[in-house]
Structure 1
Amino acid sequence: MTREYQANLALYIDGSWRSGEGRDVHQVLNPATGEVLAELPLATAADLDEALAASAKGFALWRATDVNARAAVLHKAAALIRERAEHIATLLTMEQGKPLAEARTETLSCAAVFEYCAEEAKRSYGRIALRPAGQRAMVLKQPIGPVASLTPWNFPVSLMSKKVAAALATGCSVIAKPAEETPGSTSEIMRCIADAGIPAG
């Protein structure tokens, strides 16, 4: 059966999808055939500036979001990844070249990562350390700020999910840059996160 590469390639910035509009493009190729699957819009300097500003705004909002609400978004993202796993796996196989069964396994592992991080968000424990002079030192774990996530082509959805889910669980905002070779599958993971209700930014 022949499958079509059905991916809407776009940049996700501050809660909206952007494509075209005079941006340079990168051709996404099927490594098995050399066929051009799609054209990926490339971020401009202005896009990056906007993403940085949005992530700073988003960080202030997301770090103040209750851990149970953060966990609910991550659980919803996991459910959407499971629901859309066949589509994501198909894109992954077409643009990366791994067998479809392996692509399905990789995609479903992403859902498990989001579920794990959702629960770990509730267990960000601090500690109190007693010092020799009877003093106490208190350690608090807090989100540090916007996180940059760069991921390679070989396990694109798995590696992106591990970085993004963990950062979101701890209350950080994220700027994720997937590999140009595998943008469709990673964009679909981002759509799951967006559709799960992550705030803009």
Structure 2
Amino acid sequence: MIRFLLLTAFGGLSTFGGQALLSLGLHPERIVPLTAIAEGCAAVAVGVALFVTGMLGLAEAFEKQSLRLSQLLQTRQAPNSDSELADTQGLPIGGPADLASNSERFWHGYLRSTGGLCLALGGLLALVLILGDINYETYRATLGAGLAAIALPTIVLWIGGMAKIWRSHRDVLIWAVRAESLPEKRAEVVEIHQRRPTREAVFRSTRPAALCREARAVA
């Protein structure tokens, strides 16, 4: 879990830094050497690869733990009291509704983190297109201010999204560990009791025979 968070962080920083380097070096009045452009492209490519790998790893780890908890909830016996539900941290074992709510929180954080990086890249691209016709000094100063303005909401979105992902993964992991300590469900043995016929049933079953005997006697 932690390594995927680090991969996502390094990937986002590398992507943002590479895009910023390309933006500063592609002004018509002062184009940087091809080596700098190649370094910026490599930083963007590596950053995107790391970011995608980290996000996919986070999603896979969460889905595995959610599936594990779902299976445990089906095979483990539910506690008899609320005191048995609490673990050492006071966190109750989530049921299907809690699991669905936790999954919704995870994917909301997932979208926030991904949307933060997309916002940064889209904002930089729009800024470069808007400032393309001004002189280089003004372009560099304005682009620097724009980078700072774009970085702030990006970091806020990413940190908020990662916090939701971390809490969701932590809760599912704790629930799964706590559910493993519960006893397994016992197979219910259904005993089939043979019912004795009631008086009414006996009376109904013998009445036709008695009527037949009376009819024969009259005849």
Q: TM-score per shorter chain, which class?
A: 0.3 to 0.5
Structure with the higher fraction of residues in strand conformation:
1
TM-score (norm 2): 0.31
Structure with the higher fraction of residues in helix conformation:
2
TM-score (norm 1): 0.33
